[in-house]
A and B are shown apart, each in its own frame.
Chain A
Amino acid sequence: MDRHPNQVMRRRDVARPLAAPGPKLRPVAPAGTVECRGCGRRFGEARFEKHLRVCPDCGRHAVVPAMTRITQLADAGSLDVVRMEIPDRDPLRFDDGVPYPSRVAEARARTRLDETFAVARAAVGAVPVVLACMDFGFLGGSLGSAAGEQFARACDLAVAEKRGLVAVCTSGGARMQEGIASLAQMARCSAGVVGVAHAGVPYISVLADPCFGGVTASFAVQADAILAEPHARIGFAGGRVIEQATYDRLPEGFQTSEFLLAHGMVDAVVERAALRETVARLLVAFSGRR
């Protein structure tokens, strides 16, 4: 195989098929062990968490819950979690067998989050920031009214305290159960970002697997710098929807971070181990004149 002398082929460089559903690491027997969905190897939970939930063997980046993500990015001892109690809304009184408020309550109990976002004041590389991290485990990271308000308040906080804004975005898109009110959240979050931009504080967005729909088509890509984790699936319409609607054959690696990098849509694909340092360096650079 022809290879550039500096290029080291690793297993993680091999594009994975699109079809695989949510790349979660499921705890399997024996207890305290996790199995990589990429290569099937098992690791002790503690070792896996220390590796930032990246498979030490094949490099597959597993889903990170929002609170864990905040801990991974923040400087040690700098975290100040901002709790937000935002009234639940059920504009359509949606019920598909389970009433929508019950689904929200269940997600809240399971994730111990207020809503889709976990928000915190923190320092990243000694630069003060507001972290707003989405949790794919909270109804697929979907963007409802409360989540939109969380993100917008995170923007307001960044403006009020002159902190940089760092968002980690992972979402299936709009929250269908809220109908048109959920579409409106794209505009609400954009209004938050406009406030941040006018205040002149930097905004860095990190796209994690998976990130689709109204989240990608609003605040996730309105940042000053857009980073993406390796092999994350990112786009507007999902691959399955596109295949069904157009009968187009999907190109290899379609809608992966690497695909978006090649098409000029993201600034860099950054491994999780280097994420904190990369975010910090950009924040320092963007704060250069202050």
Chain B
Amino acid sequence: MTVTTQTAERERAAFAAVELARNPARPRALQVIAGAFTDWTEMRGDRLFGDDRAVVGGPAQLDERWVMVIGQEKGTDAISRALHNFGMPHPEGYRKARRLMGLAEKFGLPVVCLVDTPAAHAGVAAEERGQAWAIAESLVTMLELRVPVVSAVLSEGGSGGALALAVADRVLALENAVYTVAPPETCAAILYRDAGQRARAAAALRPGVDTAYEIGLVDELIPEPMPGAHAHPEVTIGALRGAIVRHLDELCALDVDALVRARIARYRAAGD
């Protein structure tokens, strides 16, 4: 094989992995909530401006333990995808999440975040209402939260829009998910000034969650049944549920001061 074909092959494989993560049949946040949790009551609105359907949340039971579950929802068909804005939150979504985290802290409920977004929404309204401010506030809130926090990346963890719900005591990820600084299209636009070179960007940036696992931003990869979570969503949800419960059992036994200190120390060294 020539060098050119090898490169092309590598880029094709890298982008195929991104497309696998974007498979529309992968389990979504609402499906995980329905399949792994019971007694969920959805709580809506940020009490400031509106209700962003790209983020859903509320108290629910997980293995007989009450928790606050917050997820980014991409939708499952044309209508629900539009309703949930393809999982791309506006500032209201992050502010709703923050409000629910505040309630969780007040009533001592562990927080479970289901991360599933290509990126935070890029738009005029999002900028006017302080997208950057909403994300920055969420990062601080999650660092300081005085209850255990577990986050799980379902399909795509894209940009600060994902990190805003992924600062946690334990971060899990489904093994075929991607976790990236920005979607490959955006990276290509920035690095090569051409969004069309997304396959090249995907090969260069190694967007798979194994890269995030290597640098310690993700603690555990949840195996998916062959050929991927999209083929057996219930099996995948079961495996994820087991892992979340196991981590919550460990975390809930710890002293909360030590927990918060360890979380801040962990992110103080993030990326090394």
Contacts and interface: CB of A to CB of B under 8 A. Distances in A.
A250 B126 CA distance: 12
A163 to B, nearest CB: 19
A105 B127 CA distance: 35
Nearest to A250: B124
Contacts of B227: none
A254 to B, nearest CB: 7
B107 interface: no
B44 to A, nearest CB: 24
Interface stretch (B73-81, B204-212, B239-247): B204-212
A52 interface: no
Contacts of B206: 92, 179-180
Contacts of A219: 136
B269 A91 contact: no
A242 B130 contact: no
B61 interface: no
Nearest to B134: A217
A242 B126 CA distance: 10
A237 B270 contact: no
Interface in A137-168: 145, 148-149, 152
Interface stretch (B16-24, B98-106, B183-191): B183-191
Contacts, number: 175
Interface string B163-198: 110010000000000011110001101111001000
Given A92-B204, A180-B215, A265-B133, A236 B126 contact: yes
A28 interface: no
A74 B130 CA distance: 31
B3 to A, nearest CB: 14
Nearest to A94: B204
A196 to B, nearest CB: 11
Interface stretch (A15-23, A54-62, A124-132, A182-190): A182-190
A214 interface: yes
Contacts of A251: 124
Contacts of A248: 123-124
A221 interface: yes
Contact of B181 (A180, A245, A246): A180
B72 interface: no
Give the size category of B's interface with A.
Answer: 35 or more
A183 B189 CA distance: 17
Contacts of A278: none
A221 B124 contact: no
Nearest to B217: A184
Contacts of B139: 186-187, 190, 218, 222
State the majority secondary structure of interface residues on A: helix
A192 B126 CA distance: 27
B144 interface: yes
B118 to A, nearest CB: 11
A4 interface: no
B264 interface: yes
Nearest to B131: A236
Contacts of A170: none
Nearest to B212: A180
Given A176-B191, A187-B167, A194 B124 contact: no
A241 B143 contact: no
A263 B270 CA distance: 33
Contacts of B144: 194
A73 to B, nearest CB: 23
Nearest to A222: B136
A65 interface: no
A81 interface: no
B159 interface: yes
Contacts of A263: 128-130
Contact of A191 (B126, B143, B215): B143
A208 interface: no
A193 B140 contact: yes
B128 A188 contact: no
Contacts of A221: 132-133, 136
A156 to B, nearest CB: 9
A235 B181 contact: no
Interface in B121-162: 122-124, 126-133, 135-137, 139-140, 143-144, 159-160
B268 A188 contact: yes
B229 interface: no
A246 B124 contact: yes
Give the interface centre of A94, A149, A194, A195 by most chain B CB atoms within 10 Å: A194
6 contacts: A95-B204, A145-B272, A180-B211, A180-B215, A244-B195, A251-B124
Given A181-B215, A185-B271, A188-B270, 12 more contacts: A92-B211, A94-B204, A176-B182, A176-B187, A180-B181, A188-B267, A191-B267, A194-B264, A195-B264, A236-B131, A246-B124, A248-B123
> Considering the complex of A and B, which 3 residue pairs feature the smallest CB-CB distances, nearest first?
A237-B122, A184-B271, A216-B132
